[in-house]
């Protein structure tokens, strides 16, 4: 991936990761599943997902927006 298309796509991915790190839709919820509040499980899942997305970024788009154009390695 290269160019501004990839830049926009990854920026949106980053925004989603930031925006939903807090499960706003569970605000006020106190349901418990398997010993922990559901929102704590969301936090656990979201951190695992974030690590996965970060890994995918390092494999496919590292250097995007930081290194010089045309020199993005894989």
Residues near another protein (CB under 8 A) are 14, 17-18, 21-24, 26-30, 32, 34-37, 39-40, 43-44, 46-48, 50-51, 54-55, 57-58, 62-63, 65-68, 71, 73
Nearest to 30 by CA among 41, 19, 21: 41
Nearest approach, Cβ of residue 6 and another protein (Å): 14
Q: What is the DSSP string of 8-66?
A: HHHHHHHHHHHHTSS-GGGTT---EETTEEHHHHHHHHHHHHHHHHHHHHHHHTTTTTT
Identity of the residue, 4 or 66, whose beta carbon is nearer to another protein in the bound complex: 66
Identity of the residue, 6 or 57, whose beta carbon is nearer to another protein in the bound complex: 57
């Amino acid at each position: 991936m290269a160019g501004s298309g990839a830049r926009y796509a990854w920026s949106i991915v980053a925004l989603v990761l930031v925006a939903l790190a807090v499960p706003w839709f569970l605000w006020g919820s106190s349901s418990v599943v398997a010993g922990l509040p559901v929102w704590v499980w969301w936090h656990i899942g979201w951190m695992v997902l974030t690590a996965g997305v970060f890994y995918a970024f390092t494999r496919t788009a590292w250097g995007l927006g930081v290194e010089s154009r045309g020199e993005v390695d894989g």
